[in-house]
Chain A
Amino acid sequence: MNAVEELVKRVVAGDLAAYETFVKRFQRLVGHIVFRMVDNQADREDIAQDVFVKIYQNLPGFQFECKVSTWIGKITFNTCANYLAKKKTPLLGDLGPKEATADDFTDDRARPDEMVEANDISSHLRREIAGLPVVYRTVLTFYHLEEMTYGEIARIMDLPMNTVKSHLFRARKALKERLMSKFLLEDLCR
């Protein structure tokens, strides 16, 4: 029995201190998903708490038929998707007006002196990620931050594996083009 299984066993037996350890272990995963999917800052922590309450309630029925992280990812994704459905926020909207255009290359490209301001590459990228459709943001999070496989992501999001792949490639291409429209390459290499 590995450490997580041992922890789950203690939680199911009613050990709340063990659940605190469990939450600490998986709060990074839940935080990543909730914060990427939900824009409203005021609701994020409440949703994350709801997720962990659901996990606690459903843990006795968990049979380890998949990885614990996949199971938690699915509960978190579904909870956020339900929240967004109530708010009538589409999971897969269009890529929006920020996609790179020819004008962006001439008008919007930052000058080197502007680069030292708060508008640095990483904060610009964070803003651009936040501007992507929810599904793209979520796939990027599972793949890059959680290092999940296409199969795991497909299982969590209930999507075909090819769709996951396609979302991932399109999202990264959109980000690359938006970055190119904003910054000169020599700025990136400094």
Chain B
Amino acid sequence: MPIEHLTDDDIQRYLDGHTCLENDQIREHLEICPACQDALEMYRQVYAGLVDDRDLLLPDDFARRVTAKLAVSKGVRWPAALTSVAAAGAGLVLSAVVLYFLVGWQPILAYFTNLSLSEPEFLRTFVSAILGQLAYLNGGLTIVVSGALVLFFYGTIDRLLAKAKIKHT
């Protein structure tokens, strides 16, 4: 049975190699129908363009960069731990400096000298000592603000180190 015109779907199925119509029927029609020949040629151009991947390729050294990134993240555990310890140490030193300027060494030394770890009321002693320090400071706000500053400092250092690590990878 002669076909009037091939539809877009017919032509696409024909080019895909799974047509519903008989291939002979399609070929016969294409031989005599210029409009369908034009459409087929247009589709051929589209199909050819669709396998062109020149803009879709990753750089040649991509695989090496991926494995370098993985190697860094695999081996990062020790350096990361050391970095955290170093940052925590810096935070402690800063806290000590802040305390020194706020209260001096005497009250701190006095606290540790009088403290007996064997006492069962260690926690109570500790809490009362802290409260004593706050009272000595004539208001706890100063030490709370100092503590917040130390935490902020520690957090900033940690973020900067983490960013530097990501950039490095």
Contacts and interface: CB of A to CB of B under 8 A. Distances in A.
Interface of A: 16-17, 19-21, 23-24, 27-28, 30-32, 35-36, 45, 48-49, 52-53, 56, 121-122, 125-126, 129, 140-141, 144-145, 169, 172-173, 175-176, 179-180, 185, 188-189
Nearest to A28: B57
B62 A48 contact: yes
Contacts of B92: none
Contact of B56 (A31, A53, A56): A31
B63 A23 contact: yes
Contact of B70 (A28, A31, A53): A53
A21 B64 CA distance: 9
A35 B53 CA distance: 10
A14 B59 CA distance: 25
22 contacts: A16-B70, A16-B71, A20-B64, A20-B66, A23-B62, A23-B66, A24-B63, A27-B63, A48-B62, A49-B65, A121-B45, A125-B45, A126-B52, A129-B50, A145-B50, A145-B53, A169-B12, A172-B12, A172-B46, A173-B8, A175-B49, A185-B38
Nearest to A52: B66
Given A31-B56, A32-B56, A121 B49 contact: yes
Interface of B: 8-9, 12, 38-39, 41-43, 45-53, 55-59, 62-67, 69-71, 73-74
Contacts of B74: 16
B25 to A, nearest CB: 20
A145 B51 contact: yes
Contacts of B12: 169, 172-173
Contacts of A144: 47, 50-51
Residue from B38, B59, B63, B74 whose CB has the most chain A CB atoms within 10 Å: B63
Contact of B42 (A36, A145, A185): A185
A176 B39 contact: yes
B62 A27 contact: yes
A52 B26 CA distance: 45
Contacts of B65: 49
